[in-house]
A and B are shown apart, each in its own frame.
Chain A
Amino acid sequence: MAVEQRPGAGTAVEVREVPSLMTEEEQTLHKNVFLTTIDAVTGWGRAHSIWPLTFGLACCAIEMMAVGGAHHDFDRFGVIFRPSPRQADLMIVSGTVTKKMAPLLRRLYDQMPAPKWVISMGSCSTCGGPYYEAYSVLKGVDQIVPVDIYVPGCPPRPEALMYGVMKLQEKIMDESMPDWLRKRVKR
Chain B
Amino acid sequence: MFRWAKGYAYTGKRLFEKTVTIQYPQQKPKIPEGWRGRHYFYPDRCTACDACARVCPTEVITVVSHRDPETKKKILDDYTIEFERCILCGYCEEACPVDAIKMGDVYELASYAREQEFMTQEKMLPPGYSTDVVVHGQGEAYRGGDYRTKPEKKVNH
For B23, B25, B83, B87, the residue with the greatest tally of chain A CB atoms inside 10 Å of its CB is B87
Interface residues of A in 67-99 (CB under 8 A from B): 70-73, 76
Name the distance in Å between A102's Cβ and chain B's nearest Cβ.
12
Name the distance in Å between B102's Cβ and chain A's nearest Cβ.
17
Is A160 in contact with B114, judged by CB distance below 8 angstroms? no
Is B108 in contact with A123, judged by CB distance below 8 angstroms? no
For B114, B155, B156, the residue with the greatest tally of chain A CB atoms inside 10 Å of its CB is B114
Q: How many residues of A contact B (CB 8 A)?
A: 34
A130 adjacent to chain B (CB < 8 Å): yes
Interface locus among A9-17, A45-53, A164-172: A164-172
A64 adjacent to chain B (CB < 8 Å): no
B130 adjacent to chain A (CB < 8 Å): no
Name the distance in Å between A38's Cβ and chain B's nearest Cβ.
25
Name the distance in Å between A44's Cβ and chain B's nearest Cβ.
17
Main secondary structure of the interface of B (DSSP, over half): loop
Is A70 in contact with B20, judged by CB distance below 8 angstroms? yes
Interface residues of B in 27-78 (CB under 8 A from A): 28-29, 57-58
Q: Assuming the A-B contacts A135-B157, A156-B107, are A148 and B112 also in contact, with contact meaning beta carbons closer than 8 angstroms in the complex? A: yes
A positions within 8 Å CB-CB of B: 70-73, 76, 123, 126-130, 132-135, 140, 142, 148-154, 156-157, 159-160, 162-164, 166-167, 171
Q: List 10 A-B contacts (CB under 8 A).
A: A72-B21, A126-B114, A127-B84, A127-B114, A132-B85, A150-B111, A150-B112, A156-B107, A162-B24, A164-B110
